[in-house]
Structure 1
């Protein structure tokens, strides 16, 4: 059976301020790509060498996978630790001279608090030297702000299909990111296990195991450096 998903384009808005965001975008409760925002010095400064130098040699815990599609349910990855500067350079490589599993392995960093079970992710605390370069759009009052998660991944990495409870602003600083999103109304078709979906390959799903997935309609976009994606909870 050929799989042809229903795709809904994500609308784009340029030079959005707080008033326009709240009036035209937030209340609609649908994804939106925000372009041409002032995101700070990160847009010109954040090269591989700069990030690794500013972040320094602190140890970070990372996901390492031999496959580009990481699966949280089946755990097809391992956790390892590296100095941050070493990790950044490895994540920028296509082939590795030093590796844990294979020369083609992929890396993923999701910043965590000092105590991952209690502390929320906050880039200003975990990476203050880099946080000062980024200007997060002030669309919400400060007491609504929950966390700021700093992420770096290898090129071509695909994260497991999952959902987030809270509203998100996904800021793409460098590189590009293809994003596929589903409405909460389509949850019955996504084969959820907790907050993760069993459907890992959303482009070529196993329709014998997941026949209802054909009914899920996707929002899809590709973020360029400097784009901000609003993801309603």
Structure 2
């Protein structure tokens, strides 16, 4: 008697787990050094496809790894340094008007050096540009009439890249100055294009007349160095220079329009997740405190700089700058005191 074959149900395929490699081991070490708990590290690995037993063993083994133990020792030294700067920052913040950016008409050279350069305080000068021809001449139309035939380098397609300033070389575009003026005037508020300091326009002979429109300089500046130590900025309302610090001191004069400056002390650097160069990934307009919780303890200074006013940016101060109007600005770093400094910048853009 022929009987029908029993229905065959194949066994489930074996579970495929991700192998542990050196990339995973480095990831474990980095996150344990960040004080992520062993349990959270294991849970993340398992969720990513690592066998639970392998994840647990690898995390346990890391705790006795001699290279990891050496890293722990260096971490102790780093945390001592962080505590030193954090305590110094607490002293700075205890000043009654710490969070206020002063605005002053003029400051004598000796006071400027002691109070703002060596004292490391941002300042806005309100009387510097009284004799600047630029204050009466500069406008988008003036640029188009006198320099419209010259080529300029701008940053473009910034809105498509969250790291547009870090990747600024990828966003270069050259066009006629007159065409860019039309683009700014007609385009409305945007952060998509901006003529920044990187344009080097003032090194072109055709733009030299702009330097003739600059009058008195702060008493700590060397006029002879102006042409090679200055930059021209032009863009629409809505441009944002993301949070970063410069490697020297400079002045930034607002000729047309207004900009909002936010400042953060260099002593707060450990709270700014500075993984790449001089940049922080934090947007101070909408900080992600879940991702960057240390930022919650940062004290930020804020000031709106009006047309005719000049910001002094002291050494190492973090800043994020937003244009509130169509803006023409002029920055210069020709201080007649030492203004060359070296920073050991990190190079971990994907950390």
Quickly say closer, same or farther: Cα 1:122–1:91, change in 2 above 3 A. closer
Partner of 1:157: 239
Quickly say closer, same or farther: Cα 1:141–1:178, change in 2 above 3 A. closer
Partner of 2:192: 106
Shift of 1:17: 4.7
Task: Quote the Cα distance in structure 1 between the aligned partners of 2:160 and 2:216.
Answer: 29
Q: Which has the higher strand share?
A: 1
CA contact (8 A) 1:189 1:216 kept: yes
Task: Quote the Cα distance in structure 2 between the aligned partners of 1:203 and 1:43.
Answer: 30
1:49 correspondence with 2:141 = yes
Task: Quote the Cα distance in structure 2 between the aligned partners of 1:89 and 1:136.
Answer: 31
1:87 correspondence with 2:219 = no
CA contact (8 A) 2:158 2:171 kept: no
Shift of 1:232: 0.5
Partner of 1:64: 156
Shift of 1:107: 1.7
Instruction: Tell me the alpha carbon deviations over residues 70-96 of structure 1, each in whole angstroms, 9 at most, x when there is no partner.
Output: 63367598332210121122122335x
CA contact (8 A) 1:122 1:148 kept: no
2:272 to 190, 193, 207: 190
Quickly say closer, same or farther: Cα 1:21–1:144, change in 2 above 3 A. farther
2:252 to 152, 163, 170: 170
RMSD value, Cα: 3.0
Scaled by the length of structure 1, what TM-score is found? 0.78
Task: Quote the Cα distance in structure 1 between the aligned partners of 2:230 and 2:214.
Answer: 11
SS of aligned partner of 1:149: strand
1:123 to 185, 190, 202: 202
Instruction: Tell me the alpha carbon deviations over residues 17-56 of structure 1, each in whole angstroms, 9 at most, x when there is no partner.
Output: 5455345543321001110223511001112111222223
Report which of the two structures shows the higher radius of gyration computed on alpha carbons: 2
Where do 5+ consecutive residues of structure 1 fail to align? 1-5, 96-102, 114-120
Task: Quote the Cα distance in structure 2 between the aligned partners of 1:70 and 1:148.
Answer: 27
Show structure 1 runs of 4+ deviating over 4 A: 73-77, 143-146
Partner of 2:215: 135
Of 132-141 and 68-77, deviating more is 68-77
CA contact (8 A) 1:68 1:158 kept: no
Shift of 1:138: 3.8
Quickly say closer, same or farther: Cα 1:39–1:213, change in 2 above 3 A. farther
Q: Which has the higher helix share?
A: 2
SS of aligned partner of 1:196: coil
Where do 5+ consecutive residues of structure 2 fail to align? 1-92, 316-351
CA contact (8 A) 1:39 1:137 kept: no
Instruction: Tell me the alpha carbon deviations over residues 154-197 of structure 1, each in whole angstroms, 9 at most, x when there is no partner.
Output: 11111121110111101111000001111110101111121111
**How many residue pairs align between the two structures?**
213
Could you say which structure has the greater relative contact order, defined with CA pairs below 8 angstroms and 6 or more residues apart?
1
Quickly say closer, same or farther: Cα 1:175–1:9, change in 2 above 3 A. same
Of 180-189 and 135-144, deviating more is 135-144
Shift of 1:122: 7.3
